[in-house]
Amino acid sequence: MFNLYPAIGSVNALRSNYNFTMLPGTANSFGSCTMKIENRKAEPPIGARGKIARAYLYMDEAYNRYSMSKKQVQLMTAWDKMYPVDELECLRTKKITDIQGSKNTIVQSRCIKNSLW
């Protein structure tokens, strides 16, 4: 459950499995929702970038068959640093750990570092 977040279905469907990137100069694709999609690339809203980064980094660490490109790892690592965990993300991760019985060391280590665990 660590990588599952609620999303607007139509936005999620249009995003498909496109790689994330920065799309400067591109207008929001969904009105007041600041998600951008252009040329099979997607730029998520600022408030989602850190959580997306840590979900992707978790998947990359937890599952051998999942593999990000070097460029995606660099972007996710940058977003992880630029948009740190908050109390709610740490609480959510604790609850999932209790339910699932497995750990998300990516989020947990950031929470510990920020005295939120």
The distance of Cα 15 from the centroid of its chain, to the nearest Å, equals 14
In this model, does residue 29 exceed pLDDT 90?
Answer: no
Task: Tell me if 85 sits within 8 A of 58, measured CB to CB.
Answer: no
Predicted local confidence at residue 8, as pLDDT: 87
| Residues 33-57: tens digit of each pLDDT | 899 999 999 999 999 999 999 999 9
Predicted local confidence at residue 72, as pLDDT: 97
Q: Which residues contact 1 (CB under 8 A, 6 or more apart)?
A: 96, 99, 100
Lowest model confidence (mean pLDDT) among 28-32, 40-44, 85-89, 102-106:
28-32
Sheet holding 41-43, edge to edge: 19-20, 41-43, 36-38
Gap between the Cα atoms of 1 and 97, Å rounded: 9
Q: How confident is the model at residue 100 (pLDDT cuts 50, 70, 90)?
A: very high
In this model, does residue 31 exceed pLDDT 90?
Answer: no
Predicted local confidence at residue 32, as pLDDT: 86
**Category of 7 on φ-ψ map: left (φ > 0), alpha (ψ -120 to 50) or beta:** beta
Predicted local confidence at residue 69, as pLDDT: 95
